[in-house]
Structure 1
Amino acid sequence: MSSEPSGKAPFPRLSVWVLFAMVYGVYIASPVRIQTDSIWSIPTAASILHEGNANLDEFRPTFSSYTAHGTYEHSDGHAYYDYPLGAVLAALPFLAGMEAVLSLFEPALPHLGGLGTYIQKWLLTFRSTGTIDLGFYNRTEQLIASFYVSVAVVVLFLALRKQVPDRTAFATALLFAFGTSAYSTASRVLWQHAPSLLTLACIVFLLARPTQTVRTALLAGFAVACAYVCRPTNAVSVVVVTAFYVLRWPRLLPAFFGGAAVVALPFCAYNLSTYSSLFSPYYSQRLDPTQSRFFQALAANLVSPSRGLLIYSPFLLLAVVGFFQKLRRRELQAPEKAFAVAVLLHWVAISAFPIWWAGHSVGPRFFTDVLPYLVYFLAFPLDALLSAPRRRPILTGVFAVAAVYSVLFHWRGSSSPAVHGWNSVPTNVDKDPARCWDWSDAQFLRALPFRSSGGA
């Protein structure tokens, strides 16, 4: 990798805190918190903390009174959260800390007015079993998810400032934070995507270094293993990063695998004890690139009017330009090749998935996880534009318009339930995925106030 840019200022501690506070503040102030796949994440964490197991048996009355979506009935008679435990485990330290701290002030809560009443309700709900109000947890999910995504933004900034000036790194991090699905998807509730984004941002930070050491290899192994625990499609990153170390730094493989084993061994042990298999049922879903709609899905994930990455974050076209500029100049370093391969394979993987349109979501949800790899390449041509905007006035203007559009859409997706309403109105997208190609009723049009028909 290239060395740190000349004239680099001292480590910008204040910038880091300003960036985190800015991003986290906007995230938690944005009102959309629509739970779907995440809805059993907090109760699963509560079960682990209070009962020492991850099954949801104590909440069975809620299956019929609220929803059983996202639960799995195992052959052993126990019910489990169907989705990966990565997000649940990421929530555990926050929930344990919140319960412990709030419990200390419990005697004083009746005297704190509305805030005290809310905290009392939170403690009561978190400790309850049987029939519970799952919807009450949407704010808790948002606070935790927004934290992880905000930290991912900071980590990406720290990685980029090793390659470009701080100004460019800061601008690139802000575009990642507000102009992509990091905002409208990952930060909203406790999807798999929030902790997943942080793990991949850490991979970028660790690999985008001039040299690798035992410590960085150990941390990289730990990060890719955590990524896989968060989301099975991160198997792409596991394979690519492992190949990077095999081909580039073979002497560091013991450290790399050692870091991975810290996560992989407990993960496999839990699955064996729970499911009698190395993987949970969710990880057994197959990808089929031979399906008849595979090529349609490839196109849809890039340019369809309701799921296309380049439709909802068009400024990322400049990231593609950045990659090919480096390729043409023969400046691509080994980590950058790894990032590019990971994006390509991820695109193939999500397009080979049977539900390639990502269910009820906003824009290109399935591309969320690999955004750190893509945004990395954006920083280099963006630096050229910021350094001499008058040299390329047309390109600068087009990029500015694309960036503003992206930020506005993802802000609306985080602020207006009507954008989410597209998934259900006029028909359910899961029953009619062809709607993803309907330009007359594209999801981005629901972001316009006068087109905001339907509800979430």
Structure 2
Amino acid sequence: MTVFDSHLAKERIWFWLVLATAVATATLFYFAPNKNIGSDPKYTLVVSRAILHDGSIRLDNQLSDFDNFRITEIQGHHYYTFPYGTSLIVTPFVWAAEKLGHDVRQFPDEVIVQKWLLAATGAILVLLCWAILHTYLAPNVSWMLTLVLVWGSVLASTFGSALWNLNLTVLLILAAIWLLVQHHSGNATTVRPILLGLLLFFAFLCRPTASVFIVIVFLYLLIWNRREIWLTAGVALLGLIGFMLYNQAVMGQPLPPYYLPQRLESRTPFAWAFWGLLFSPSRGLFVFSPVLLYMFVWGMLRFKTIERQTRQIMGLILLWFVVYLIVIARFDHWWGGFSYGPRLLTGLMPAVVWLTAVAWPHHPHNQRHPVLSNTIFTLLVVFSIYSHLYVGLFDTTAYAWNGTSLPPNIDRAPQYLFDWRYPQFLATETQLCQRHDDFMSQLRTQNRYILSTYPSGYTMLAKDGAVLATLGLHPAWMKSERAEIRQVEPASFLNHTYLPMVASGSPLYFLPQGWNMPADGRMKSACAPATLMMGTVESTLLSQSWQGSIVLESEAEQTVQIFVNNQPVTLLDLQESQTSYTFTIPPNTFSSMGENQIQIIPSSDEKRTNPQVWDAPPIYFYGLTLRDGI
């Protein structure tokens, strides 16, 4: 066997290993339980169906419920709030899914089809990253770095959770970068301007923040390939003109609302958002992926030792990195809502891949202390993969950290993004209960709600506990909401209406604490104690006995303790069916000076002041009525 044959055989082995990694990535993404398809990506495929059946992006004939933030009404017609580039590209796959019997208007079917597509994007992601890295680096190094950059970064936790518009944006940008690195490395004499122009246009069609990369591409061509800059720009410009003409014809405006600059008018001071995107405990890029900081530092240390042209390319990439961060930091919703980690920085990861490809040393980067350097690198890789691949995709508590069921809702209390007591990547059920208790304590301290005097005979229904989801804590660093931002958003993500009694015009008699938000007319216990906070009781009624009638259900037969204002009242033997239980509250147990609390804990627990997880079989609360004079 010749040296050439041996080299070719090794290349084939590494190619098959990369292919196996792509399949493994797709499999992990498909089966990961942490799916966010019901968030922004919902209706992505419904738009594809509208294109197939109506020849339009209008959703008037596809949906019956238009009252949610994913839908924008323009001139009497309904449109998907988010960019429709992804919907357009995956239309053939939606057609194929329909042939297989799936109707993406039904959410369970949309989930199935999105899982297929996000798995496919994960596989393509691995192949593109490896192709870019292998342009400069050995196949084994390229494979290792591909694992690090895909599994150990926000690429994994974003791509694996839903078919975000970021998924295809990143793939299109990576494909464009591959054309550029082929040209830069001398493997190709052309950047294939027609294909490059199309990739740039479709990346912008999928997400407007791709415009930052488009500027970088034209700077690259201006410096190194002016001959092909005009054809590339012409193709991209033709696509943009067609896009604007279509929008004008359909929407009556050249750009959808999502593309308008008003979205960059943030209420968060720039320095806070910029720091939060990089180093906050629950959205920081370098906190969730410290290996990226390590790689970035080593790249900067090598900056002066590499050739001039590579330094210029690194300069362009760093410019892209900084400008992109500035754009996201100016976005009012810079933390990305109900996300895991720095989701909105997923679009920056192609820059990291490109920078790694050109800056990573071909030889060990620390000849003096290889053991120490390699040990640190390995530990950071392990943590980064654990953070994104395991916690981000398989630990359901990490997603619950956003307040999906147990407040606070992170959009209404964004100061918890910076709270090192409760980092998202270390989320546990106990941590969530402790944060919930801290949130409720701050609501009381800051007078964010008013509980009215409880009227005897009033029934506290579980469904009314949903009012807690409307309460929030306005951070001192956040400016007041701007009217123009509300015009851009079809439904406010950050509606700081903290006094439901005033806002709704009806009294607020109770709030739940330690319960998940209502679903199907009931609340599930999450923390112990599970508490019902009610207003004061008329002083004339304090000396009387009260009777309580509470409707509960348990997932298994068990005994629970009932406390009123920390005083034991009774034990209840719960059944596995919805049952009404009565109990007596002794005189002078209630207070007329402040809140009254009815607390439920498992009988095996002692009364405690620190919140803990409800570690007994869960119970469900339906309603409670209290009457005096019994």
TM-score (norm 1): 0.84
Task: Supply the distance in 1 between the matched residues of 2:110 and 2:96 (Cα, whole angstroms).
Answer: 16
2:339 alignment partner, SS class: coil
1:61 alignment partner, SS class: coil
Which of the residues 408, 414, 434 maps onto 1:427? Answer: 408
Q: Aligned residue for 1:164?
A: 137
Please state how far the C-alpha of 1:159 moved relative to its aligned partner: 1.1
Cα 1:174–1:292 change in 2 (3 A) is closer
Please state how far the C-alpha of 1:150 moved relative to its aligned partner: 2.2
| % same residue | 23
Give deviations 1:157-191, integer Å, cap 9, x for gaps: 01111111101111111122211111111232111
Please state how far the C-alpha of 1:97 moved relative to its aligned partner: 2.5
Task: Supply the distance in 1 between the matched residues of 2:209 and 2:44 (Cα, whole angstroms).
Answer: 19
Please state how far the C-alpha of 1:402 moved relative to its aligned partner: 1.4
Segments of 5+ residues of structure 2 without an aligned counterpart are 1-6, 437-515, 518-630
Does the Cα contact within 8 Å between 2:47 and 2:80 map onto a contact in 1? yes
Cα 1:382–1:330 change in 2 (3 A) is closer
Q: Aligned residue for 1:113?
A: none
Please state how far the C-alpha of 1:375 moved relative to its aligned partner: 2.9
- Where in structure 2 are the equivalents of 1:191-206 lying within 5 Å? 191-206=164-179
Please state how far the C-alpha of 1:91 moved relative to its aligned partner: 1.8
Q: Aligned residue for 2:574?
A: none
2:375 alignment partner, SS class: helix
Which of the residues 28, 31, 54 maps onto 2:57? Answer: 54
1:253 alignment partner, SS class: helix
Task: Supply the distance in 1 between the matched residues of 2:328 and 2:230 (Cα, whole angstroms).
Answer: 31
Does the Cα contact within 8 Å between 2:114 and 2:163 map onto a contact in 1? yes
- Where in structure 2 are the equivalents of 1:45-444 lying within 5 Å? 45-63=48-66, 68-75=68-75, 77-100=76-99, 102=100, 120=101, 122=102, 125-126=103-104, 132-209=105-182, 210-211=185-186, 213-261=189-237, 263-286=239-262, 293-331=269-307, 332-378=310-356, 380-381=359-360, 384-385=363-364, 391-410=369-388, 411-424=390-403, 425-444=406-425
Give deviations 1:276-330, integer Å, cap 9, x for gaps: 3321111004365896610111111000000000011110013312431342214
Please state how far the C-alpha of 1:133 moved relative to its aligned partner: 3.3
Please state how far the C-alpha of 1:216 moved relative to its aligned partner: 2.5
RMSD: 2.6
1:37 alignment partner, SS class: coil
Equivalent position amino acid for 1:427 in 2: P
Does the Cα contact within 8 Å between 2:18 and 2:126 map onto a contact in 1? no
Task: Supply the distance in 1 between the matched residues of 2:230 and 2:336 (Cα, whole angstroms).
Answer: 37
2:394 alignment partner, SS class: coil
1:42 aligns with 2:45: yes
Please state how far the C-alpha of 1:399 moved relative to its aligned partner: 1.5
Higher helix share: 1
Give deviations 1:234-290, integer Å, cap 9, x for gaps: 110111111221232111112212432463243222212122332111100436589
Segments of 5+ residues of structure 1 without an aligned counterpart are 1-6, 103-119, 127-131
Please state how far the C-alpha of 1:358 moved relative to its aligned partner: 1.4
1:435 alignment partner, SS class: helix
Does the Cα contact within 8 Å between 1:319 and 1:375 map onto a contact in 2? no
Does the Cα contact within 8 Å between 2:151 and 2:385 map onto a contact in 1? yes
Task: Supply the distance in 2 between the matched residues of 1:326 and 1:407 (Cα, whole angstroms).
Answer: 25
Please state how far the C-alpha of 1:348 moved relative to its aligned partner: 1.0
Task: Supply the distance in 2 between the matched residues of 1:301 and 1:382 (Cα, whole angstroms).
Answer: 28
Give deviations 1:366-410, integer Å, cap 9, x for gaps: 11012121133345547645x889942122112211111111121
1:152 alignment partner, SS class: helix
Task: Supply the distance in 2 between the matched residues of 1:324 and 1:374 (Cα, whole angstroms).
Answer: 13
Task: Supply the distance in 1 between the matched residues of 2:119 and 2:298 (Cα, whole angstroms).
Answer: 29
1:145 alignment partner, SS class: helix
Does the Cα contact within 8 Å between 1:419 and 1:444 map onto a contact in 2? yes
Cα 1:314–1:46 change in 2 (3 A) is same
1:406 alignment partner, SS class: helix
Does the Cα contact within 8 Å between 1:308 and 1:364 map onto a contact in 2? yes
Does the Cα contact within 8 Å between 1:318 and 1:381 map onto a contact in 2? no
Task: Supply the distance in 1 between the matched residues of 2:312 and 2:192 (Cα, whole angstroms).
Answer: 15
Please state how far the C-alpha of 1:215 moved relative to its aligned partner: 4.9
Does the Cα contact within 8 Å between 1:180 and 1:312 map onto a contact in 2? yes
1:57 alignment partner, SS class: coil
TM-score (norm 2): 0.62
Equivalent position amino acid for 2:149 in 1: F
Does the Cα contact within 8 Å between 2:126 and 2:150 map onto a contact in 1? yes
Q: Aligned residue for 2:496?
A: none
Task: Supply the distance in 2 between the matched residues of 1:207 and 1:370 (Cα, whole angstroms).
Answer: 17
Please state how far the C-alpha of 1:419 moved relative to its aligned partner: 0.9
Q: Aligned residue for 1:105?
A: none
1:320 alignment partner, SS class: helix
Cα 1:214–1:328 change in 2 (3 A) is closer
Task: Supply the distance in 1 between the matched residues of 2:96 and 2:72 (Cα, whole angstroms).
Answer: 28
Task: Supply the distance in 2 between the matched residues of 1:369 and 1:231 (Cα, whole angstroms).
Answer: 9
- Greater displacement, 339-348 / 289-298: 289-298
Which of the residues 24, 34, 59 maps onto 1:32? Answer: 34
2:66 alignment partner, SS class: helix
Cα 1:254–1:199 change in 2 (3 A) is same
Higher strand share: 2
- Greater displacement, 199-208 / 321-330: 321-330
Equivalent position amino acid for 2:89 in 1: A
Task: Supply the distance in 1 between the matched residues of 2:262 and 2:306 (Cα, whole angstroms).
Answer: 37
Task: Supply the distance in 1 between the matched residues of 2:239 and 2:311 (Cα, whole angstroms).
Answer: 29
Number of residue pairs matched by the alignment = 418
Task: Supply the distance in 2 between the matched residues of 1:381 and 1:265 (Cα, whole angstroms).
Answer: 39
Larger of the two Rg values belongs to structure: 2
Does the Cα contact within 8 Å between 1:47 and 1:53 map onto a contact in 2? yes
Task: Supply the distance in 2 between the matched residues of 1:276 and 1:323 (Cα, whole angstroms).
Answer: 48
Give deviations 1:136-155, integer Å, cap 9, x for gaps: 41232122123123212211
Please state how far the C-alpha of 1:443 moved relative to its aligned partner: 0.6
Q: Aligned residue for 1:4?
A: none
Does the Cα contact within 8 Å between 2:97 and 2:113 map onto a contact in 1? no
Please state how far the C-alpha of 1:342 moved relative to its aligned partner: 1.0
Task: Supply the distance in 1 between the matched residues of 2:420 and 2:289 (Cα, whole angstroms).
Answer: 17
Equivalent position amino acid for 2:398 in 1: V
